[in-house]
Structures are given as C-alpha cells and as structure tokens.
Amino acid sequence: MGIPMLWLIVLFLIPFIIVFKISFSEVRLAMPPYAPLFEWLNGKLVAVKLNFGNYSYLFTDALYVSSYLYSLKVAAVSTVMCLLLGYPMAYAIARSNPTTRTVLLMLIVLPFWTSFLLRVYAWIGLLKTNGVINNVLMSMGIIHEPITMLQTDFAVYVGIVYSYLPFMILPLYSNLEKHDLTLIEAAADLGAGPFTAFRRVTLPQSLPGIIAGSLLVFIPAVGEYVIPSLLGRTDQLMIGRVLSDEFFENRDWPVASAVAIFMLGLLVVPMMLFQHFEKRTIEARK
C-alpha cells in the first residue's frame, strides 16, 4: 500500500506542485527556461520572486480568455451531442437480450482498443474537401461544390463525439442495465404512456449514469489536443493547443504552467464531482 502511494506522490503530486511553483516564475532564456523562485545567498533565503504577471497575462491577453471560453464551449457542446447520441444507444443495448447485448458491447468497445490517433486521422480522410463524404455527395448530385468540413467547429464536435462515445455509453449502459423493468410496467398499469414513463421513471434513475458519462467526456475534452490539432480551426485554438504551443514553441514554461494551473482550477469542481460519483458507484456495488 505504501509503494503506490509513494510512487504517486513523487510522480503525480510533486509534479503538480512544481507546475504550481513555476507558474509564478519569470521566463528566462536558459535551460531550464525559468528563473528560480528563491534566491539563495550563502545558504540564506534572500528573496522570493513571485511573478503574478503570468497570471495577469492570462486574464488580459485576449488569446487566453478566448481560448478558455472556446474550450469550455466546445467541450460542453460535444458532451451534449455525445449524450444525445449515446443515451439511446445505451438504452437499446440495455434492453436487448443477453446474447445480442454482449455482441453489441463488443462492437462498441472494439474501436476503443484501436488507436485513438488513427481513428481521428480517419476523419481527415472523410471530411477533407476532396474527401470521401464530399466525393460521395457530389457524385450523387446532392451538392455541386465541396463543403468545407475540416478545420471547423463542426469537425471538432464530430471528432470528440466519435472518440469519446464509448466513454459515454459504458457508464450509461451500466446504470440502465440495473433498472427494474417492472417499475415501467407498474407505471403503464397506472396509466402512463411510454414517454411519460420514460421521463418520470427511467430518466431520473439514469441520472447518475448521465452525470458520470458526461463528466468522463467533458473534463478531458476541455484539454483536448489531438482532435483540434488535426481537425480543428486554425484561427481559434483550444486551450490544450495553447498550452502546448506556449511550452514548445514559445518556450515560455512559466506561462504554460500558469495556463495549466488555471485549467486545473476550472476543472477542479467537475473532477471532484466525478470522484464523488465514482465512490458512490463503487459503494453501491458492495
């Protein structure tokens, strides 16, 4: 028990502390490219240079503000779309007979085991100007000019929904599968039509699954890097891309750290919510 704890403290907690610390330092043209926070002279702590400038930079520069907001928006929209697609799918699987169910689950999970990167790449081929979709639509005469689909918000939504769909379906399925169907029968017996029964019996019970699935999609989506890089806009970047650029291209580690810390701050509440739900699901299973 001590070993994983130690490992995680060193490789997980401490890195965060470091990021936190560096977010306060100044950028330097050196290796490593940041100034030390504490000045030591003859073994005594002489000065502490805390640079809040990095953080104020975040708030004042339009690039950062817009990136954060954009990321949140994209993540939120994608999550909703993922939910709208994933819920009926999970429902259909939960209501099918056991043999079909195993096959269906296998089908849902199989793409997950193939490379994430390659699957996103596949969409490039589909969404390109002379890509498959445009070619098919043009040859069928539905459109006469290719539609621009790559490097748009739309492409990012599709990419996120596509990649994270299994993460939405599985918690939903796991919740829906446990529902007692006789409750629906009881509702019907009491005069509720199928939609009412769904709205008032199934939906409320599936709320934990909805929340778990949504958080599982939303939180990582905010910081997504691969999908916006391959499919997304070039004029408006998501925050994951901004962080990476800040780090690799500008070599401004302090600012990159500040970006990371702030992103963490934004996500802390959803993350704690997720943990709370994880705990509850595990305990409910006991």
Partner 1 sequence: MKSHGLFSRTVLVFGLVFLYVPILSMVVFSFNNSRLVTVWDSANSPTMKWYAALMSNDQILGAAWLSIRIAMIAASGAVVLGTLAGIALVRFGAFRGRALLAGMTTAPLVMPEVITGLSLLLLFVAMEQAIGWPKGGGAVTITLAHITFCMAYVTVVVQSRLVGFDESLEEAAMDLGARPVKVFFRITLPLIVPALVSGWLLAFTLSWDDLVISQFVAGPGSSTLPMVIFSKVRLGVSPDVNALATIMVLVVASGIVASSIWMRYQNKRRERDMRLAASANL
Indicate whether 234 belongs to the interface with partner 1 (CB under 8 A): no
89 touching partner 1, by CB under 8 A: yes
CA 154, 265, 206 angle in degrees (round to 5)?
60
5 is a site residue for partner 1 (CB under 8 A): yes
**CB-wise, 140 or 195, nearer to partner 1?**
195
Three-state DSSP at 46 gives strand
Peptide bond into 32 cis (omega under 30): yes
Contact status: 137 vs partner 1 (CB under 8 A): no
Q: How many other C-beta atoms can be found within 10 angstroms of the C-beta atom of residue 283? A: 8
SS3 content of the chain, % helix, strand, coil (to 5): 75, 5, 25
Q: Kindly indicate which of the ranges 41-49, 59-67, 203-211, 214-222 contains the residues binding partner 1, using the contact rule CB under 8 A.
A: 214-222
Q: Shortest gap between Cβ of 92 and partner 1 (angstroms)?
A: 4
User: CB of 56: closest distance to partner 1 in angstroms?
Assistant: 20
Q: Does 119 bind partner 1 (CB under 8 A)?
A: yes
Residues in 183-202 at the binding interface with partner 1, rule: CB under 8 A = 184, 188, 194-195, 198
130 binds partner 1 (CB under 8 A): yes
CA 195, 198, 201, 207 dihedral sign is: negative
Q: Which structure tokens are listed for 32?
A: 């490593």
Q: Which region, judged by CB under 8 A, interacts with partner 1, from 37-45, 53-61, 62-70, 104-112?
A: 104-112
Q: Is 118 in the site for partner 1 (CB under 8 A)?
A: yes
- CA–CA distance, 12 with 18 (Å, rounded to integer): 10
Q: Which amino acid is at 56?
A: S
Interface map 140-169 toward partner 1 (x if CB under 8 A): ----------------------x--x----
> How many angstroms separate the Cα of 213 from the Cα of each of 73, 80, 208, 225?
18, 11, 8, 20
DSSP 112-124: HHS-HHHHHHHHH
Please tell me whether residue 29 binds partner 1 under the rule CB under 8 A.
no
Note whether 88 binds partner 1 by CB under 8 A.
Answer: yes
Bridge partners of residue 48, in order along the sequence: 38
Binder to partner 1 among 64, 123, 164, 173 (CB under 8 A)?
Answer: 123
Interface region with partner 1, contact rule CB under 8 A, candidates 42-50, 51-59, 122-130, 203-211: 122-130
Q: Is 223 in the site for partner 1 (CB under 8 A)?
A: yes
**If we measure between CA atoms, which residue out of 100, 123, 99 comes closest to residue 111?**
123
Count of residues near partner 1 by CB under 8 A: 90
Q: Which of 92, 137, 138, 211 binds partner 1 (CB under 8 A)?
A: 92
For the chain, what is the radius of gyration of the CA atoms? 24
Distance (Å, whole) CA 118 – CA 101: 27
- Computed from CA positions of residues 58, 163, 218, 21, in that sequence, does the dihedral angle turn out positive or negative? negative
Toward partner 1, which CB reaches closer, 147 or 264? 264
Q: One symbol per residue from 267 to 286: x for binding partner 1 (CB under 8 A), - otherwise; what is it?
A: x--xx--xx--xx--x--xx
- Closest CB 200 distance from partner 1, rounded Å: 14
